[in-house]
Amino acid sequence: MKDFAGRVAFVTGGANGIGLGLARALLAQGCKVAIADIREDSLAAALKTLDNQDVIGVKLDVASRADYAAVADDVERRLGPVSLLFNNAGINLFQTIDDSSFDDWDWVMGVNLHGVINGVMTFVPRMKARGSGGHVVNTASMASILCGPAPGIYNTTKFAVRGMSESLRYSLAAHDIGVSVLCPGLVKSHIFASDEVRPDTLKAGAKPVNTAMVERLEKLHEFGMEPDTIAERVLDAIRANRFYIFSHPEFRDEVATVFEEIVGEFRDYPKDSGYDERVAFEQGRRESYKAARAAARGDG
């Protein structure tokens, strides 16, 4: 995609952080933008900073399929067909998996993974039916590649978003709809205050909020990358139809080390029965995957 002007963009988590940065960048390129967020006060504050532009704010719980469909209808009625989708909303729970409850899982999965699924399942069929192309950007994280003990559920969701995005990229290439996955590091945002928007219905088994940790995280996020910087890098990636958007170059060496460690875990085992037949089958799959990657890039 080379030209953004005249397109309609839908940005979840749009009232602060990366979402708000994307809204500013898209408006500057001549897009109409709908920013969706669960915080009404944050939406109102964000809209004030975007005054006198083609932008609207809509309250949305991305974990709700019914709400998503209703909001999508409202946005397209007011702004026109959405062809740029940014599944950006996300929350975090800074604890390990073994210290988590089922409600912890349902909350984080509901926003970080099901929110992306709901966005794709709501808007992509419409984009395909219209035949005017478009682009989908799903916000994952460097936590979709790098992980430690915590935040365990967050890592799980982001790994899933990364895999989902790659598969979707290949299936949508034939429809002139690009797909990218954004993998940022530390961002100047309010994700450290995720507990503020946790639904009452999903608080059973929740640990008391560690206010001291939240305060430390708030100070740390002051050094996060500016959302406007990330947004410009996202738009550059869309123009070039790149899949991975690594906004924070400081992670390059660490990612290389991790993948070297993964490859290093392979062993040269002796051939077992069925080896040659499996290899023959896998050769066909390799060629199919290679062709899918090339088609998604627009090669040939």
Q: pLDDT tens digit string along 106-116?
A: 999 999 999 99
Amino acid identity of residue 292, one-letter, is: A
Q: What is the mean pLDDT of the chain?
A: 95
Q: Phi and psi for 36 in degrees, rounded to 5? A: -115, 140
Query: CA–CA separation, 46 vs 275, rounded Å?
Result: 59
Same domain, 235 and 274: no
Give SS3 for 209: coil
For the chain, the distance separating the N- and C-terminal CA atoms, rounded to the nearest angstrom, is 17
Q: What is the pLDDT of residue 210?
A: 82
Q: Which residues pair with 9 in a beta bridge?
A: 33, 84
Mean pLDDT, range 129-152, rounded to an integer: 97
SS3 102: helix
Same domain for 139 and 212, yes or no, is: yes
> What is the pLDDT, as a whole number, of residue 300?
57
- Give the pLDDT score at 206: 92
Question: How many structural domains are present in the chain?
Answer: 2
Residue 167: inside a domain, yes or no? yes
233 and 286: one domain?
no
CB 261 within 8 A of CB 199: no
In a domain, 1, yes or no: no
Q: What is the mean pLDDT of residues 69-76?
A: 98
Handedness of CA 93, 117, 141, 60 (dihedral sign): negative
Residues 86 and 232 in one domain: yes
Structure letter (DSSP) for residue 34? E
Tell me how far apart the 2 most distant CA atoms of the chain are, in Å: 69
161 and 204 belong to one structural domain:
yes
Same domain, 182 and 148: yes
Using the predicted structure, report yes or no on whether residue 215 has a pLDDT greater than 90: no
pTM over cut 0.85: yes
Q: Which residues are catalytic?
A: 154
pLDDT tens for 245-291 read 999 999 999 999 999 999 999 999 999 999 999 999 999 999 999 99
Whether 94 and 206 have beta carbons less than 8 Å apart is answered as no
The boundaries of the domain holding residue 164 are 8-253
Residue 261 covered by a domain: no
- Per-residue tokens: 43: 């939406």
Q: Are residues 34 and 175 in the same domain?
A: yes
